[in-house]
Amino acid sequence: MSRSLAVPLVIDRSAAAPLGSQVAGQIRDALVGGVLPVGARLPSTRALAGDLGVSRSVTEQAFDQLAAEGWLETRRGSGTFVAAGATTPLRHRPSPTPRPETGLLRLDTGTPWIDPRHRAAWRRAWRDVSAATPPPAYDDPAGVRALRIELAAHLARTRGLVCEPDEILVTSGTIGGLGQVLAALPPGPVGHEDPGYRAAAEAIRASGRDLRDLPATEPITDLTGAVGVYVTPAHQHPLGPVMPGSARLSLLAAAHAAGAVVIEDDYDSEFRYDVAPVPALAALDRDRVAYLGTTSKTVAPSMRLGWLVAPPGLHRAILERREVTHDVPPWPVQRAFVSLLRDGYVDQVVRSARRTYAARAQRVTEAVRPLATPILPVAGMYATIPLPQARARRVRASAREAGFEIPMLQDYCRTAQLSGVIIGFGGCTDAELDRALAAVVRGLG
Ligand SMILES: Cc1ncc(COP(=O)(O)O)c(C=O)c1O
C-alpha cells in the first residue's frame, strides 16, 4: 500500500547536498520537531521515490542513514516506522508560556452563562450552515450581507441605534473591531478609562499609541491632543455605573473639540435588571462615535464575532483595508449567527441569562451584606465590591482556599488607586456561587 509522508519534502536539484542527504535531513528535522510521532509509519522507499521523482536508491540511502542514527526502524514485512527511542529533549520542549494550572474555578468578568435548554436552536443553526455552500471567493469585505441586515434590525430594536446594513462591519469581536478602528485612526494618543478593560488597553498599546488614562469615576471633559477615546458607557468596566446623560454630552463635546473619535464598547448592555437599557451613545452622534458590539456576552466569547458601526470616514477607511486584507470573520460563524438571530436563539438565551443574572446579582448583594456593599445597581455578570487592599487580599485568599479565583479591582487600575474584589457570576453554577460567597463572607468577617 502506498502511503505518503505527512511532511512535505522539497528536493533541490541545484543544491550541492546529495539528494539522499536532502531527504534524510528533512525527515530528521520533522522527527526532531516532533511532527512525526514515535510509531508513525513511513511510506515505502519505492512510494516516496515515486512521490519525489527520484530514484529508489536515493530514498533507500536516506532511510538507511536515519536507521543508522536510530531514528527509524524497519520491521520485516510491515514497513519502516519512527523508532521507539527516537525522542529528543527538543520534542518535549515545554510550551514557551505555560499557563499555570491553579485548579481554581475563575469567577471572572467575562464568562457568560448560556442556558443549555436552547441547544436545539443552536444545533439547527449549524445544520443550516452545513447545508449551505460557502462563497467560492473571498466574501463581502463588510461581512455577510444577510447578517448585516439582521444586525441593523437588532441594533435598532435593542439599542436605539438606527443604521443601514451598509453602515455595519462584521468583526472578530470587540477587540478585533477595536484593532481595526485603531489601525484606521491618524497617529496620536488614545484615551482609556482607568480602571478599565485590560484587553482594550493592551490593544491600544499594541497599536503603538500612547494610552491616556482618564479617571473612570469622573466625566470626561478634555481630550485635547487625543485622536480617540475608548469608553464603556452602558456599564463601566469594571466599576459598573451607566454613564449619566450629562457625562455623555460632555464626552461628545470634548471629542468634538479635539477632533477625536469616541470608541463605544457596548459589551453587555442587554443585562440590566433594574431598568431598561439606556440607548447606545452612538445613537446620539453617529458622526463622532464608533460603536462596537459583540456576541461574547450573549452567545459565547469563543464565537469571536462582533460588529462595528463607525462614522462614515472611518468606515470607508476600514472597509478599504479589509478589501485588501480580507480581515473578516469566518463565513461559517457569520452564517450561523444569521440563523441564531432569525431563529430567536439570541433573544432566548439573553432572556434566560437576564433572569439568572438578576437572581445571582441579588444573591451576591445579600450574601455580603452587612459586611460590604457592591457598587449598585449590579448589572452584567459581575459585581464589584470596593474594599481596602488588605481586606480585598484576605477575601481573595479565603476564596482560593475554597477553590475559587476572584479578580482584584486593583488589577484593572493603571494610575487609579482603587482596590476591592470583583465577583463574576456567569461562569459558575448557583451551588458554586453560594460556596464562593460563603468563602468571600469568611474573608470579609
Ligand atoms: C469590557 C469588555 N468589552 C468587551 C468584551 C468582549 O470582548 P470580545 O468581543 O473581544 O470577546 C469583554 C469581555 O470580557 C469585556 O469585559
Per-residue confidence band for 33, with pLDDT thresholds at 50, 70 and 90: confident
Q: Grade residue 1 by pLDDT with cuts at 50, 70 and 90.
A: very low
User: Which CATH entry fits the domain spanning 105-113+350-444: 3.90.1150.10, 3.40.50.10860, 3.40.50.2000, 3.40.50.1370?
Assistant: 3.90.1150.10
Give the Å distance between the CA of 312 and the centre of ligand 1. Answer: 24
Report the pLDDT averaged over residues 415-420: 97
- pLDDT score at 154: 96
Burial 233-254 (b: 16+ CB within 10 A, else e): bbbbbbbbbbbeeebbebbbbb
Atom of ligand 1 nearest to the CA of 295: 9
Write the CA distances from 53 to 12, 20, 80, 337, integer angstroms.
12, 13, 20, 48
Confidence of residue 3 (pLDDT cuts 50, 70, 90): low
Task: Name the segment(s) of the chain with CATH classification 3.40.640.10.
Answer: 116-346
The reply to whether omega before 370 is within 30° of 0 (cis) is yes
Mutate to test the pocket of ligand 1, among 111, 172, 237, 384 (most ligand atoms within 8 A of CB): 237
Q: How far apart are the CA of 391 and the centre of ligand 1, in A?
A: 28
Categorise residue 351: left if φ over 0, alpha if ψ from -120 to 50, beta otherwise: alpha
Of 153 and 8, the one with more pLDDT: 153
The listed CATH number (1.10.260.40, 3.40.50.2020, 1.10.10.10, 3.30.930.10) that belongs to domain 19-92: 1.10.10.10
Q: How far away, in angstroms, is 68 Cα from ligand 1 center?
A: 55
What distances in angstroms separate CA 108 from CA 216, 224, 236, 324, 370, one per listed residue? 20, 35, 16, 37, 24
Asked whether the whole model's pTM tops 0.85, one would answer no
What value does the mean pLDDT take over residues 292-309?
A: 97
Atom of ligand 1 nearest to the CA of 235: 1
Residue position matching grid coordinates 446620539: 284
Assigned CATH for 116-346: 3.40.640.10
pLDDT of 426 over the 50 cut: yes
Specify the amino acid at residue 5: L
Measured in degrees and rounded to the nearest 5, phi and psi for residue 307 equal -150, 155
Start-end of CATH 1.10.10.10 domains in the chain: 19-92
Report the chain's mean pLDDT, rounded to a whole number: 94
Average pLDDT, stretch 356-371? 97
Q: What is the pLDDT of residue 84?
A: 85
Q: How far is the CA of 303 from the centre of ligand 1 (A)?
A: 12
Q: Start-end ranges of CATH 3.90.1150.10 in the chain?
A: 105-113+350-444
CA of 237 to the centre of ligand 1 (A): 9
Of the candidates 41, 69, 46, 70, the residue with the CA atom closest to the CA atom of residue 57: 46
Q: Using CA of residue 388, residue 390, residue 392, residue 395, what is the dihedral sign?
A: negative
What's the rounded Cα separation, in Å, for the pair 252 and 258?
10
Kindly compute the dihedral angle of the four CA atoms of residues 242, 155, 136, 180, in this order, to the nearest 10 degrees. Answer: -30
Per-residue pLDDT band for 273 (boundaries 50, 70, 90) equals confident
DSSP-assigned letter for residue 100:
P
Strand pairing report for 420-424 and 382-386: antiparallel
> Which of 172, 174, 231, 307 to mutate to test ligand 1, by most ligand atoms within 8 A of the CB atom?
174
pLDDT over 90 (residue 118): yes
- Nearest-CA residue for ligand 1 atom 2 is 267
Whole-number percent of the chain with pLDDT over 70: 96
Q: How far from each other are the two terminal CA atoms of the chain, in whole angstroms?
A: 72
C-alpha cell at 356: 439568572
- Atom 3 of ligand 1, residue of closest alpha carbon: 267
pLDDT, mean of residues 142-164: 97
CB-based contact 139:328 (threshold 8 Å):
yes
Averaged over 88-106, what is the pLDDT?
70
What span, in angstroms and rounded, lies between the C-alpha atoms of 258 and 248?
15
Measured from the CA of 110, which atom of ligand 1 is nearest? Answer: 14
Q: Under DSSP, is residue 112 helix (H, G, I), strand (E, B) or coil?
A: coil
Q: 239 C-alpha vs ligand 1 centroid, how far in Å?
A: 15
pLDDT (mean) for 248-276? 93
Per-residue pLDDT at 89: 55
For ligand 1, mutation pick of 267, 304, 337 (most atoms within 8 Å of CB): 267
pLDDT band at 37 (very low <50, low <70, confident <90, very high): confident
Task: Tell me the CA–centroid distance for residue 267 and ligand 1, in Å.
Answer: 6
Could you tell me if 33 and 90 are in contact, meaning their C-beta atoms sit under 8 angstroms apart? yes
Mean local confidence (pLDDT), 262-284: 90
Identify any residues that bridge with 105 across adjacent strands, giving them in sequence order.
Answer: 404
Mean pLDDT check: name the lowest of 15-29, 94-108, 150-164, 259-273.
94-108
Q: Does the structure show a pLDDT above 60 at 138?
A: yes
Nearest CA, atom 13, ligand 1: 110
* Spacing, Cα 296 to ligand 1 middle (Å): 7
Residue list, ligand 1 pocket, CB within 6 Å: 109-110, 173-175, 197, 232, 237, 265, 267, 294, 296, 301, 306
- Return the higher-pLDDT residue of 437 and 95: 437
Report the percent of the chain where pLDDT is more than 90. 85
Residue nearest to atom 14 of ligand 1 (CA): 110
Statement: residue 2 has pLDDT above 60: no
Using the mean position of ligand 1's atoms as its centre, give its distance from the Cα of residue 285 in Å: 23
pLDDT of 92 reads 55
